[in-house]
Structure formats: structure tokens, C-alpha cells
Structure 1
Amino acid sequence: MRPVRSAARAMLASIFVVDGIRTLARPDSRVEAVRPLTDRVTPLLERTDPRLPTDPRTLIRIKAVADVAAGLALATGRFTRPAAAVLAAGLIPHAATEKGDPDHLLRNLGLLGGLLLAAVDTQGRPGLHYRTSHAIDRSQRSVRRAVRTARRDAKIAVAVRKLPG
């Protein structure tokens, strides 16, 4: 199953890496498309921290860098779940800025579905919830075992003291 996962992640990530590189090379081609979204987000960014960039061109470049970095991480199998989550989160505003063509909407929904699957894929290993709950169970059993052993040792010590001699 590992080769299939590796190939699927690389194929899924490729569109984000290529698109991110194209956007970094020509960010001005997207400025007008994202301006309605950035105009709505700019007041929120300014309220959060006045030092945050609000220029659409800069925001486009930041998203492009995030897409390339997360896409490469996903494709190489490093930090796959966080990388897929970053790409999925970045895909939502991207899908919101595309107008008209229903094919683009379907493509973005398909990509979002693949990214969501990649974000929850534990690669056949137990997930964090399973591991933590079982670690707690193991530690509780270990404590109970230690208490039983201590009680037994205490009973033996008391019995040895009571022996004449």
C-alpha cells in the first residue's frame, strides 16, 4: 500500500507545487481575482495585528509559498497530515475567488476531498487518539499492578516480622 500512497500524494501535491511556482513568477495575474476577498479580509487582518500584510499581491505570494512548501512536504511524505491540512485550508479561499465555471468548482471539490483524505490518513498506523487512550490504559494497568505488588510485599513483610525468631 505504501507505493500507492506515495504516488497518490505526489500526484495530489503536484498541482499545488506547479500552481504555486506559476503564481510566484506572475502574482499580478491573480490580483484582480482575489481583490474582492482581500477587501473583506483586510479589516480583520488590520485588527488582529497592524503589522500583518494586507496588500493583495503580498497575500498571493504568501499563499503561493505555502502551497509550494506544503505541496513538497506532501509529495515527499514529510509532515503529510499537516501539509494536507494547510493545502486544504488554502484551497477554500482559492475556490471562493473563482467565478463562473462549474468545472473549476468540481475540480476544487475533488482536490479538497483528496486533501481531506490525506489529512486524516494515518498510513496504517494507529492515530493519535488511539495511541493516547491506549497509553492511558497501559499506565493505569501498570499503576494497579504496582499497587498489588506493594500490598503483597507489605503483607509478606508483616508476616515475616510476626515470625518468632
Structure 2
Amino acid sequence: MLVRRLARPMLSAIFISGGIGALRHAQGHEPMTENVKPFLKKIGVPTDDMETLIRANGAVMVGAGALLAIGRLPRLSSLALLVSLVPTTATHDFWAQSDPQAKQMQQIQFFKNLGLAGGLLLAAVDTEGKPGLGYRAKMAGDSLGRSAHTAKLEARLAAANAKSALS
């Protein structure tokens, strides 16, 4: 569909651009990671080499963004981008800013990322008009249930026919 062919590259452009920036200038992103370190420590990620983590996040953004842009593994790449967006969004701590201008800039970036997360969620669940796994599993279960019911009826008919043939 034309909308998907246009929307996917548009959605992924910011991730590819940001990922390239993180790969090229990881040390420039390090000061913004202070808000993320406590969360990373809590989930067991070592924070002594933030530059490597920034580059890894950037690589995910470039790779998954490129895959989404060309329509390859769009659901998986959308989920990968969504995961990569979490630490990036956490760096925009508008609630901790005292300068009104800085607060507004951080708030804009934070809510921009929330909007991107919404777009990625939509892309992650887009089955392109094909039935999703839940629907297919339900149909398979219903089909098995109907088959079992039909088998029972046929067994009863066969037993009734055998009984009447013996009489």
C-alpha cells in the first residue's frame, strides 16, 4: 500500500539520522545519559562505558530504521526502535529543569518521542491486512473444535448404523 511505502521511511528517518549522530559523536551524547544511568543499573546494565552503550543504541537505530524504511521485518524493526527510544526519551528530563526555556525545549523533545513511540506501536502491530497471530490461533482452535465435534457426530452415526444393521 502506498501509505506504508511513504510512512515507513518518514518514520524511520529521525532514527537513522539520530543513530548516525550517536555513532559519530557518542562522547557528545554522554552528558545527557546521567538520567538513564540509574535505570540501567537497576536492570543490570553496566554503566562504566556509556560511550559503547550510546554507539550500540545508535547502531540499533540505524539498522532497524533502515529495515523499517525499506519494509523488511517492519514489525520487528519497529519494536527494536521502540526499545531504543526508551533511554533517549528518559534523557529529556523537563520536570527537573529550572530554566523555563530549557524546560520547554526538553518538554518538546520528550513529547516528540512519545509521538514517535505511538507511530512505532502502530507500525509494530500493522499486519498489512493479513490476519494476525491471535486471529489465526483462534481460527485454528475453532477449526479443531469443529473437527472434534464433527468426529463425535460421525462416530454416533456410525454406531447407530452398526446397531441397526445388527438388528
TM-score range, shorter chain: 0.7 to 0.9
Counterpart of 1:62?
56
Residues of 1 paired with 2:70 and 2:151: CA distance?
45
% identical equivalent positions: 37
Can you list the C-alpha shifts for 1:23-54, whole angstroms capped at 9, x where unaligned? 112211111111332254235416xxxxx675
Unaligned runs of 5+ in 1: 47-51
The worse-fitting range, judged by mean Cα deviation, of 99-108 and 60-69 is: 99-108
Residues of 1 paired with 2:43 and 2:147: CA distance?
50
Provide closer, same or farther for how the CA distance between residues 66 and 54 of structure 1 changes in structure 2, counting only shifts above 3 A: farther
TM-score w.r.t. length of structure 1: 0.82
Provide closer, same or farther for how the CA distance between residues 96 and 56 of structure 1 changes in structure 2, counting only shifts above 3 A: same
Provide closer, same or farther for how the CA distance between residues 69 and 54 of structure 1 changes in structure 2, counting only shifts above 3 A: farther
Provide closer, same or farther for how the CA distance between residues 61 and 128 of structure 1 changes in structure 2, counting only shifts above 3 A: same
The answer as to whether partners of 2:35 and 2:90 remain within 8 angstroms in 1 is no
Unaligned runs of 5+ in 2: 94-101
1:95 corresponds to which of 89, 94, 101: 89
Q: Report the CA distance between 1:13 and its aligned residue.
A: 0.9
> Equivalent residues in 2 for 1:1-165 (5 A)?
2-42=1-41, 44-45=43-44, 54-99=48-93, 100=102, 101=105, 102-160=107-165, 162=166
Residues of 2 paired with 1:42 and 1:105: CA distance?
22
Count, aligned residues: 156
The worse-fitting range, judged by mean Cα deviation, of 3-12 and 71-80 is: 71-80
Q: Report the CA distance between 1:147 and its aligned residue.
A: 1.7
Computed over aligned residues only, the root mean square deviation of the Cα atoms, in angstroms, reads 2.1
Residues of 2 paired with 1:10 and 1:82: CA distance?
15
